[in-house]
Amino acid sequence: MVRLLLSVLALLTQPQGHLGAEVKAYSQKTVTNACTLVMCSPVENGLPGRDGRDGREGPRGEKGDPDITSLKQQVEALQGQVQHLQAVFSQYKKAELFPDGRGIGEKIFKTGGFEKSFQDAQKECTQAGGQLASPRSAAENAAVQQLAIAQNKAAFLSMTDAHTEGKFVYPTGEPLVYSNWAPGEPNNNGGAENCVEIFTNGKWNDKACREQRLVICEF
């Protein structure tokens, strides 16, 4: 503080021109110091720079396990398809034992042209992997009729009323879903007509099972 007072006193005692120079120099020094103080203030952050280059590719991970459940399901589905194809192939293979045949939908009706009793006809078809013809629609009945016409013989069908007279059923025990009886049939003529035959005109008639009729199998 004493030094500052002495400096001011020295300035006041000097000539006016010299005093102006000192004031000017002091002002410049003050301005310079002020600028220096401004320049020394912290610099604000600028805009962010560009992204750097991508780093090196990392190491490859370990191979994962496959979805075992999905693979098993696919294998099971394929096995089912193979079994179905094998069954169909076996069906056609057995049907080849009968040279004459007609197909309708998924069914094949075949005959060897020979005649047998109902019981023997059933065995013949069962051993071949089928059963006696069981037409369940007009179209299937027409296919069986064509075989009867080709052989010019009446043929046995699979249905009987052996358990309940007048109630004809399929070998499975199901009631008939289709029939094409001739007028006045079935009449159980003689009290022993428990089987069914199909004529060449496609009509049905109840017949004694011991009679010999054309064997037509269904596959």
Class of domain 115-218: alpha beta
pLDDT the model gives residue 11: 52
Rounded to whole angstroms, the Cα distance separating 77 from 63 reads 27
Peptide bond into 15 cis (omega under 30): no
The Cβ-side half-sphere exposure at 68, using a 13 Å CA radius, reads 2
Residues 132, 136, 137: CA angle, nearest 5 degrees: 130
Question: Which residues of the chain, if any, have pLDDT below 70?
Answer: 1-46, 63-66, 87-99
- Residue-wise pLDDT for 10-19, tens only, equals 555 555 555 4
- Residue-wise pLDDT for 71-123, tens only, equals 778 888 888 888 877 765 665 555 565 668 899 999 999 999 999 999 999 99
- Within 10 Å of residue 162's Cβ, how many Cβ atoms? 13
Q: Which helix (H) or strand (E) holds 145?
A: helix 138-151
> Coil, strand or helix: which one is 176?
coil
pLDDT the model gives residue 38: 44
Rounded to whole angstroms, the Cα distance separating 14 from 16 reads 7
Tokens for 70? Answer: 């999905």
- Within 10 Å of residue 145's Cβ, how many Cβ atoms? 22
Residue extents of the structural domains in the chain: 115-218
pLDDT the model gives residue 88: 58
User: Which residue is it, tokens 């099972």?
Assistant: 209
Answering whether pTM is above 0.75, one says no
User: Which residue is it, tokens 């037509």?
Assistant: 216
pLDDT the model gives residue 57: 79
Comparing CA positions, the residue from 91, 186, 111 lying closest to residue 156 is: 111
Long-range interactions of 176-179: CB distance < 8 A, separation 24+: 177/136, 178/135, 178/136, 178/137, 178/138, 178/140, 178/141, 179/204
The pair phi, psi for residue 113, each rounded to 5°, is 85, 0
